């Protein structure tokens, strides 16, 4: 049995194929760093987080933030829902130094426990990525393939459910 949290949480499989991490991704909401499988309330993720990517000096990275459980985990007909897309993030600098292609949209799940994942790709070159026409039915694997991004280099996910809901299944 694998103990890799991305496999346990189903991010590897649903969103990306297995990869060996070659960059370090830190996502902080109000100075609190998220860990794989931790739960955050919608009110805690209202504003865009600080994101640091440490990898190959001089490189640029692409960040996607998606919800594979939209609109509900039992019927994810909008899978994947795109919350944020930023390209050309310089290694070692905050995400604000990148190019925001699709603006941050706060997660506001209405039903069920949603996984929200951040996936990072290293760009071979600085490149323009065009904004998809809509946020629903985004496919991270297609972005990877379309722009020859070469597979993910880092990822992390948290879980989120409607404010005021108690209990429920936790992944960790």
Ligand X SMILES: *[C@@H]1O[C@H](CO)[C@@H](O)[C@H](O)[C@H]1NC(C)=O
**Where along the sequence are the contacts to ligand X (CB under 6 A)?**
4-6, 21, 35-36, 156
Residue closer to ligand X by CB (options 35, 47) is: 35
Q: Phi and psi dihedrals of 146, rounded to 5?
A: -60, -40
The CA distance from 148 to 122, in Å, is 10
32-33 and 24-29 beta bridge pairing: antiparallel
- Closest approach, Cβ 4 to ligand X, in A, equals 4
- Closest approach, Cβ 154 to ligand X, in A, equals 6
- Closest approach, Cβ 13 to ligand X, in A, equals 13
Residue closer to ligand X by CB (options 27, 101) is: 27
Residue closer to ligand X by CB (options 85, 156) is: 156
Q: Phi and psi dihedrals of 48, rounded to 5?
A: -60, 140
| Contact between residue 59 and residue 89 where contact means Cβ atoms under 8 Å apart | no
| Contact between residue 5 and residue 115 where contact means Cβ atoms under 8 Å apart | no
- Closest approach, Cβ 51 to ligand X, in A, equals 11
- Closest approach, Cβ 117 to ligand X, in A, equals 10
Express the helix, strand and coil content of the chain in percent, nearest 5 each.
15, 35, 50
Residue closer to ligand X by CB (options 12, 101) is: 12
Residue closer to ligand X by CB (options 162, 171) is: 171
The CA distance from 120 to 90, in Å, is 12
Query: Beta partners for 158?
Result: 38, 116
């Amino acid at each position: 049995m694998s103990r890799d949290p991305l496999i346990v949480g189903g991010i590897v499989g649903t969103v990306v194929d297995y990869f060996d991490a070659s960059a370090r991704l830190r996502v902080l909401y109000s100075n609190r760093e998220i860990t794989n499988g931790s739960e955050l309330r919608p009110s805690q993720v209202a504003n865009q987080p600080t994101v640091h990517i440490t990898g190959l000096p001089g490189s640029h990275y692409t960040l996607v933030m998606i919800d594979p459980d939209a609109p509900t985990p039992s019927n994810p007909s909008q899978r994947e829902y795109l919350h944020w897309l930023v390209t050309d993030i310089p290694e070692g600098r905050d995400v604000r130094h990148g190019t925001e292609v699709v603006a941050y949209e706060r997660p506001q799940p209405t039903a069920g426990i949603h996984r929200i994942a951040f996936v990072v790709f290293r760009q071979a070159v600085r490149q323009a990525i065009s904004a998809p026409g809509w946020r629903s039915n985004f496919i991270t694997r297609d972005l990877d393939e379309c722009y020859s991004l070469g597979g993910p280099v880092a990822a992390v996910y948290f879980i989120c459910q409607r404010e005021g809901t108690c209990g429920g299944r936790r992944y960790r």
